[in-house]
Structure 1
Amino acid sequence: MRPEDEPDVARVLAACDDYVLVATGSPALPADVQSLYYSLPEGADLERKHLLVMCDGPTVVGVVDVVDGHPDRLGCSVGLFLLDPRARRTGMGTRVAQHLLREAATRGIQYVTATCPQSWAPGRAFLVKMGFEVSAPAQDRGPTVGNRLRFPAEQGLCTAVRKLDGAPPDAGHPDRGTP
């Protein structure tokens, strides 16, 4: 994401109020784009944070927020993977996710974590389709979720983990192997 993409990303966030309201309890605001730059869990390295835009031709239609090397050097956390409603169900999200998963594996990442509100059925279905194991919400996981801090209104967030090709069987499992 470049500074000149910010108005388009703000438009995408506003168009995705169906998700934003479920996830945060309030509508998207223009300042939410700026907060994407700085939203980082404790202990994570800002240099390892990546904000990516998805484009359909010259038009920005989605945004991805990723921190590699989190929660440990073998993992990668996705804080946001969001497509404008007009771009959903076109296959773009699947193609982008598959590309990013392949890219992560080539960089030695062994597992990817993501979060999704339990009440956001389209997101949970997408995660399952992409091969993630989605766990029920856990209240004892603290204020950090995925690669960002949890907002007070965010309740019922499911954690999803996907092991990448070549990863050991327990990679990314919260109770075994790497966290």
Structure 2
Amino acid sequence: MEDIEVRELRPEDEAGVARLFASCEDYFVAATGAPALPADVQSLYYALPEGADLDQKRLLVLCRGEEVVGLADLVDRHPDAERLSVGLFLIAPKARRTGLGTAVARRLTEEAAGRGIRTVTATCPSDWKPGLGFLHALGFELGPPREMTGDTLGNRTRHPAETGLHTARLSLVGR
């Protein structure tokens, strides 16, 4: 597989992330019932679950050359010191099913395990079959769909239409 750079999001990446969001309309419609809006890119910087600090927030872009082909929105050590919360893990449609997402997810979970993280938590809409399959293939245990209850399951602000979210957990113990 070609080299993909995974690095912290920079202000100059905003246009590339906006293009990524536009290309991933299928995900946003499944998750929220509507396509992403331009303001959704800027809201990534500030979307934090209750009790988390901005210092815990990590926005990573996956780049093929100058092109942003993916994004990972993470909160490190949340909701406790041994967990990592994934708010969004998005891959451009043309890069899906190429092994890119799996390779990056495995690399990130290995790095997290090396830092003492024991559990990774993510959410996925019930209607997003590709995401559910991806999480299952990575070894996540999927919980039953849940309605929004106000508790923190991920790290991004929920859209009112986001219902029936699966909570997915991956144990990193022994990895």
Fold conserved (TM > 0.5)?
Answer: yes
**Partner SS state of residue 87, structure 2:** strand
**Partner SS state of residue 49, structure 2:** coil
Corresponding residue for residue 15 of structure 1: 23
Note closer, same or farther for the CA distance 1:140–1:19 as it changes in structure 2 (3 Å cut). Answer: closer
Q: Structure 1: where are the runs of 5+ without partners?
A: 168-179
Separation in 1, partners of 2:44, 2:75:
12
Corresponding residue for residue 101 of structure 2: 93
Name the aligned partner's letter for residue 75 of structure 1. R
Give the structure-1-normalised TM-score: 0.89
Identity of aligned residues (%): 61
Separation in 1, partners of 2:36, 2:20:
9
Name the aligned partner's letter for residue 123 of structure 2. T
Corresponding residue for residue 126 of structure 1: 134
Q: Is the 1:55–1:62 Cα contact (8 Å) retained in structure 2?
A: yes
Q: Is the 2:74–2:87 Cα contact (8 Å) retained in structure 1?
A: yes
Name the aligned partner's letter for residue 163 of structure 1. S
Q: Is the 1:74–1:111 Cα contact (8 Å) retained in structure 2?
A: yes
Per-residue CA deviation, residues 70-111 of structure 1 (Å, 9 max, x unaligned), is 111110000000011011011100000000000000010000
Moved more, 74-83 or 25-34: 25-34
Query: Is 1:149 equivalent to 2:166 in the alignment?
Result: no
Q: 1:79 aligns with which of 87, 108, 111?
A: 87
1:24, CA displacement in angstroms? 1.3
Moved more, 84-93 or 138-147: 138-147
Separation in 2, partners of 1:133, 1:141:
20
Q: 1:2 aligns with which of 1, 10, 13?
A: 10
Separation in 2, partners of 1:98, 1:137:
25
Corresponding residue for residue 139 of structure 1: 147
1:158, CA displacement in angstroms? 0.3
Q: 1:114 aligns with which of 107, 118, 122?
A: 122
Corresponding residue for residue 6 of structure 2: none
**Partner SS state of residue 45, structure 2:** helix
Separation in 2, partners of 1:21, 1:118:
12
Note closer, same or farther for the CA distance 1:151–1:144 as it changes in structure 2 (3 Å cut). Answer: farther
Separation in 2, partners of 1:153, 1:47:
29
**Partner SS state of residue 145, structure 1:** coil
1:54, CA displacement in angstroms? 0.6
